[in-house]
Amino acid sequence: MKITFIGHSAFVLQDGEHTVVIDPFIEGNPVAKHSLDDVKAMKPGTVLITHAHGDHWGNAMQLAEAGATIIGTAEIGGYAGKNGAQNAIGANIGGTVKQPWGSVYFTPAWHSSSFPDGTYGGMPTGLIIEIGGKRLYFAGDTALFSDMSLIGDKGIDLAFLPIGDHYTMGPEEAARALDLIKPKDAIPMHYGTFPGLSGDPQVFAAEAQKRGVKAHLIQPGETIEY
Total number of domains constituting the chain: 1
Greatest extent of the chain over all pairs of C-alpha atoms, in Å: 48
User: How high is the mean pLDDT of the chain?
Assistant: 98
- How would residue 196 be classed by pLDDT, with cut points 50, 70 and 90? very high
Domain of 185, CATH number, reads: 3.60.15.10
Nearest to 201 by CA among 166, 174, 180, 183: 174
Q: What is the domain extent for residue 143?
A: 2-225
Would you state the pLDDT for residue 111? Answer: 98
- How would residue 182 be classed by pLDDT, with cut points 50, 70 and 90? very high
Q: What is the mean pLDDT of residues 77-84?
A: 98
Q: Evaluate if pTM is beyond 0.85.
A: yes
Nearest to 8 by CA among 18, 28, 17, 16: 28
Nearest to 138 by CA among 116, 169, 160: 160
Percent of the chain at pLDDT exceeding 90? 100
